[in-house]
Chain A
Amino acid sequence: MSIFHGMNTTASALTTQRLRMDVISSNMANVDTTRAKLVDGEWQAYRRKTVTLQPLEGKFSNFLNVARGSGGKGNVGNGVKVTQVKEDTETPFKLVYDPTHIDANEDGYVEMPNVDPLREMVNLISATRSYEANVTVFNANKAMLSKALEIGK
């Protein structure tokens, strides 16, 4: 637990939010992709991806400290990490009537990706704000350390 512990924690959060942003970019880019995967000789539309987050556990010594219940420092946490980028299989594909489309079925319907641009925009705002908030935390952290250097000046 160094003086940079808080900064490292913030760094993990920033990395996570960047990854969220990347996933949202992928979802938005593939909003019209009908050929994402070839399943049994048939093209399947793109499925929107979601990110699963988990607190970063850190080293063994942290577990030991928590188990011993000693020293609140073992309990402060180490940040956040992405455990998996999962495909959203819950939301069904959107069916669009377009007989001229190359991937239309016999009835003329095309399975479009289950990406909802509105939802992605909301997630985008959330990721951006979260990133900003973490940058603020970082700057506060730095300001605190700089202030400590002024002790005795």
Chain B
Amino acid sequence: MAIESISLFNPSQINPVSSTPKMSSAEAQENFGDFLKSAIDSVNESQKASDVATEKLIRGEDIELHEVMIASQKASITLNATLEIRNKVIEAYQEIMRMPV
């Protein structure tokens, strides 16, 4: 039977600070922008899915009513999550702007 070491982690697991890549502020902004864009895209995706389902239903195509409802609820939840994140970001921004200089 193998005996496990007592320590929870070994020092090699800890990344030395110097190994984190340095990034210019422009790059960081670009990365953040990309991340935000992809996040909003995925939210938009669920909104579109909900729209498609609703249209299918009103056209009388083969789709169950609960599928439409579930699609719309998913869209609503993802949108609410996005709003929550937006509120947090704006809150942080305003907090910074309120700083007395």
Chain A residues at the B interface, C-beta cutoff of 8 Å: 4, 7, 10-11, 14-15, 18, 135, 138, 142, 145-146, 149, 152
From 59 to 79 in chain B, residues with beta carbon under 8 angstroms from any chain A beta carbon are 64, 66-67, 70, 73-74, 77
Known: A14-B64, A15-B64, A18-B64. A149 touches B80 (CB 8 A): yes
Q: Which residue of A lies closest to B83 (CB)?
A: A149
- The CA-CA distance from A15 to B65 in the complex, in Å, is 10
Q: List 29 A-B contacts (CB under 8 A).
A: A4-B74, A7-B70, A7-B73, A7-B74, A10-B70, A11-B66, A11-B67, A11-B70, A14-B64, A14-B66, A14-B70, A15-B64, A15-B66, A15-B67, A18-B64, A18-B66, A135-B66, A138-B70, A138-B73, A142-B73, A142-B77, A145-B77, A146-B77, A146-B80, A149-B77, A149-B80, A149-B81, A149-B84, A152-B88
Q: Which residue of A lies closest to B88 (CB)?
A: A152
Residues of B contacting A18 with CB < 8 Å?
A: 64, 66
Residues of B contacting A14 with CB < 8 Å?
A: 64, 66, 70
Q: Is the interface of B mostly helix, strand, loop or mixed?
A: helix
Q: Which residue of A lies closest to B85 (CB)?
A: A149
Minimum CB–CB distance from B77 to chain A (whole Å) comes to 5
Which of B64, B77, B80, B81 has most chain A Cβ within 10 Å?
B77
Residues of B contacting A11 with CB < 8 Å?
A: 66-67, 70
- The CA-CA distance from A52 to B76 in the complex, in Å, is 34
Minimum CB–CB distance from A6 to chain B (whole Å) comes to 11
Residues of B contacting A15 with CB < 8 Å?
A: 64, 66-67
Minimum CB–CB distance from A150 to chain B (whole Å) comes to 9
Minimum CB–CB distance from A48 to chain B (whole Å) comes to 24
- The CA-CA distance from A4 to B88 in the complex, in Å, is 23
- The CA-CA distance from A142 to B84 in the complex, in Å, is 16
Minimum CB–CB distance from B69 to chain A (whole Å) comes to 9
Residues of A contacting B84 with CB < 8 Å?
A: 149
0/1 per residue, B23-47, Cβ < 8 Å to A?
Answer: 0000000000000000000000000
Q: Which residue of A lies closest to B65 (CB)?
A: A18
Closest 6 CB pairs of A and B: A14-B66, A149-B84, A11-B70, A145-B77, A149-B80, A4-B74
- The CA-CA distance from A145 to B77 in the complex, in Å, is 8
Q: Which residue of A lies closest to B87 (CB)?
A: A153
